[in-house]
Amino acid sequence: MKAYIQPISSRLAILSILLLFIGSGCSLTRRLKDNEALVRKIEIKGVDKEFAEAAVLYVDKGQQPNNVINLQFYYLFSKNGKRDIGEPPAILDSGLVEFSRLQIERFLQNKGYLKAKVADSILVKKKKATLIFSATEGPLFRIRKLEDSIADPLVRDLYRVNRPRFSHVQPGGRFDTDSLAYDRDEFYLVMKRNGYYDFYRQYINYQYDSTFRSSVVDIKMIIDNPPGRSAHPIYTINNTLVTVTKSNGRTTGKADTLQVDSQFRYVDYSGRFKPHAVINYVFQKKGDRYDIDKQTLTTSRLSELNVFRNVPNPTYTKLADSTNRLNTRIDITPLKQFSDRVEGEFLFNGGRFGYNLGNTFTNRNVFKNAAILQIKTNWSVLFDNNSSTINHAAIQNQDLRLGASIIYPRLIVPGVTLPIFGKYSVPHTTLSSNYQLFYQKGLVSRESFTNSITYDFYETSHKLHIFTPISFEYSRGRIDTAAQRELIEKNLYAYSYLIGRTIFSIGSQYTYQLNTDRLNTFGNFTYFRGSIDIGGNSLSLVSNILKTKRDTAGNRTIFGYPFAQYAKVETDLRIYRSLGGERQFIFRINPGIGVPYGNSDDQHWIFEKEFYAGGANDMRAWLPRTLGPGQFNRAKFYGPSSGDPLHPSSGDLLRAKLKYLDEYGEIKIITNAEYRYKLADNFFGAKLKGAVFVDAGNVWRLHKQPDQPNSEFRLNNILQSTAMDIGTGLRFDLSFFVFRLDAAFKFKDPQFTGADSWVLVHHFSELFTPGEFKARYKAANTGDSYNFMQLNFGVGMPF
């Protein structure tokens, strides 16, 4: 859900006062008793630079300095701790200081400074305490010799073969107990992947002998056999019982029971699933060695089907004989088969307001094979009182969308039997059909139909491929007769052709995504999404072979209608950089280009394929469809306004009718830079985070347009025609979703020329108040107001 809101200046004033109060607040020590002090600073001295930052983390949490905003929230909202909001004050406690000293000392010893000693001191001034921990590290101990003692020869061979791949413990390296623990965990997983179901970490022990004079350590890794056994047993998979409960988790009533094959017995109390909808994603087969990775894979893939709400790990029972076999049991609970979700958004900007209502109906198990049917409806209405004298109903436009899709959890290719892929994720085949009706009173109604089949699958855990081999798109527009006449009189043939014609195409799309699974992490990585959309080539071939007729514009037709030929490419590249903790910097560039060719040109391809700018996810200071193309100025192009709303000029009429439809392009370049940081850990149950951002970009026409001057893309004009905004925002992170509120300010607006384009600098005095600049804009743009600031409210991050 997203909404775009232009706030009243008084609301901003109230928000500013609140933020100032939180930022300055009262004294941090205002509620402390006479004998209490607030820990405000920690100093670590004498610690190697590599470990100085980590050493601070070993200070007890109760003695960590408060985040100022967290503490102010506690004082403002928690009422002496009765509510869990913000962060209680870190009051100095000598016992916790001593505990912290011991923790830091032990940490340094674990990092190879076996003789390390740490002393503490406390400095208190005006009830604010500074904790000082001074370390004497001593010599760094290194590993001289590494040996192993493993009783089971098979385990010994497995260890020696795999050790070079995972070990962090090497002769000559630092003696580090964390590395020893890491090695133990890694070899434990190696054992669990190779059939050793009964193997535990406790079987792995280390003995080390330190020679203090020479500062070296000798290490011996020991793996004992189980008590009373001469070797560790290797287990194989035997039979598997799959039980599907009812949606309420109960196993009552009659169940569908089937012995599927020599391994699987299937019991379904819900009566909703065919056996293979489940057992296709059980990756441990009869006779295979037990493998903890396949156990986890089974759980993950059954969960990803999105039809079960409770998929615990499979459980195993050892057979009573001496064959070392395991019987597997998988108990799963389905989600409710039917669900219905209603969504809405509200838009308010000056005299423009509207709503968007959506509904999604989901059947999670059509045909009893875990396929998902989704039926989506969406209805948007935009009112514009700025043009109400021209359109007395005040409705600017309406947009109705209907769509249905069936999503199969496997790849389905007619005539080909493909294996079940699932190593990295569940693949999908999606059959979809969509209808859209766009209506703008006094101008046009457009209908479009799209039918497609799409495949998606993961090549690795980070690489996703989405391929649509065939997509059929048909669209038609009906222009109001009076509007058509006005467009022709103004020589606006491009609009007449583009929004009013009937056209179709058959095409294919391909998308590649990298690191989608890392988007909610705080590491350093690069995200990439690239897509290509090509249409009309097969129709062109058929048309040329059959030598079909041409229409009045000279375009080839099939079944009496022209078809579009085009290639459209779009990429989204983001660089994420961690700045420590939950601080992050993101740079994004999102370019795209659409090239009509062959049977199409700029005015003879599909209107819905054009690029638009503005909105909550790219140029955040502009409403959607209200930026560009290039330096296009609506006030100048359509001619002067009459200044009399009761007697509008022809320019007034066209400006009002073409609003939200004339600012598009075949080229798009959007760049964003955003710094994200944490403000408070607990703000009414959510993490409160902040962001500061800069957006820059625009859309452009591919070629020079006589009816849109200065709208084409030129390298020597790219800076002058680029828009820019700056802003800040708040994010309320509830773990399962994020509420977002962004305030964006227009900084550079390319519809103006020269110094006037730097609107925030040259007209800052009119940011929240009327003035000459806003008055001139309103007079020249048929009553539309100029808004410097845009508030965007939505769910989820902008990118």
Does the pLDDT of residue 551 top 60, yes or no? yes
What's the pLDDT at 644?
Answer: 79
The C-alpha atoms of residue 32 and residue 47 are separated, in whole angstroms, by 33
Quick one: pLDDT band at residue 794, thresholds 50, 70, 90?
Answer: confident
Does the pLDDT of residue 364 top 80, yes or no? yes
* Tens of pLDDT, residues 502-548: 889 999 999 999 999 899 888 899 999 999 999 999 999 999 999 99
597: nearest Cα among 507, 535, 550: 535
What are the angstrom distances between the C-alpha of 400 and each of 158, 389, 448, 794? Answer: 63, 25, 11, 21
Mean per-residue pLDDT of the chain = 88
Q: What's the rounded mean pLDDT across residues 40-59? A: 93
The C-alpha atoms of residue 603 and residue 157 are separated, in whole angstroms, by 71
Q: What's the rounded mean pLDDT across residues 18-24? A: 44
Quick one: pLDDT band at residue 9, thresholds 50, 70, 90?
Answer: very low
Q: What's the rounded mean pLDDT across residues 279-285? A: 92
Copy the structure tokens of residue 278: 């489940």
Quick one: pLDDT band at residue 328, thresholds 50, 70, 90?
Answer: very high
Tell which wins on pLDDT, 6 or 442: 442
642: nearest Cα among 782, 778, 482: 782
What long-range pairs does 158-166 form, CB within 8 A, spacing at least 24?
158/190, 158/191, 158/194, 159/187, 159/190, 159/223, 162/187, 162/190, 163/187, 166/190
Q: What's the rounded mean pLDDT across residues 262-280? A: 94
Q: Which secondary structure element, helix H or strand E, spans residue 30, and what is its range?
A: none
Percent of the chain clearing pLDDT 70 (strictly above):
92
Q: Which secondary structure element, helix H or strand E, spans residue 691, and what is its range?
A: strand 686-700
Amino acid present at 636: K
Quick one: pLDDT band at residue 624, thresholds 50, 70, 90?
Answer: confident
Quick one: pLDDT band at residue 87, thresholds 50, 70, 90?
Answer: confident
Does the pLDDT of residue 34 top 50, yes or no? yes
* Tens of pLDDT, residues 208-260: 888 777 899 999 999 999 998 999 999 999 999 999 999 988 998 899 999 99
Paired with 219 in beta bridges are 146, 208
Q: What's the rounded mean pLDDT across residues 656-663? A: 83
Q: Which secondary structure element, helix H or strand E, spans residue 198, and what is its range?
A: none
Quick one: pLDDT band at residue 385, thresholds 50, 70, 90?
Answer: low
What's the pLDDT at 705?
Answer: 83
What's the pLDDT at 79?
Answer: 66
What's the pLDDT at 77?
Answer: 76
3-class SS of residue 283: coil
Quick one: pLDDT band at residue 29, thresholds 50, 70, 90?
Answer: low
Quick one: pLDDT band at residue 700, thresholds 50, 70, 90?
Answer: very high
Asked whether the beta carbons of 720 and 746 are under 8 A apart, the reply is: no
What's the pLDDT at 13?
Answer: 39
* Tens of pLDDT, residues 450-466: 999 999 999 998 999 99
| Residue the block writes with tokens 């006005």 | 486
What's the pLDDT at 1?
Answer: 36
3-class SS of residue 234: coil
Does the pLDDT of residue 346 top 70, yes or no? no
What are the angstrom distances between the C-alpha of 219 and each of 142, 184, 222? Answer: 11, 13, 10
Does the pLDDT of residue 2 top 60, yes or no? no
Rg (CA), the chain: 33
Tell which wins on pLDDT, 686 or 596: 596
Quick one: pLDDT band at residue 681, thresholds 50, 70, 90?
Answer: confident
Percent of the chain clearing pLDDT 90 (strictly above):
59
What's the pLDDT at 684?
Answer: 79
Tell which wins on pLDDT, 478 or 569: 569
Copy the structure tokens of residue 416: 């080909």
Burial of 157 (0-12, 13-18, 19+ CB in 10 A): exposed
What's the pLDDT at 81?
Answer: 54
| Residue the block writes with tokens 């615990």 | 312
What's the pLDDT at 352?
Answer: 62
What's the pLDDT at 386?
Answer: 60
Does the pLDDT of residue 23 top 70, yes or no? no
267: nearest Cα among 245, 287, 248: 245
First-residue to last-residue Cα distance in the chain: 15
The DSSP secondary structure of 70-95, one letter per residue, reads HHHHHHHHSTTTTS--S----B--HH
Q: What are phi and psi of 477, to 5 degrees?
A: -130, 150
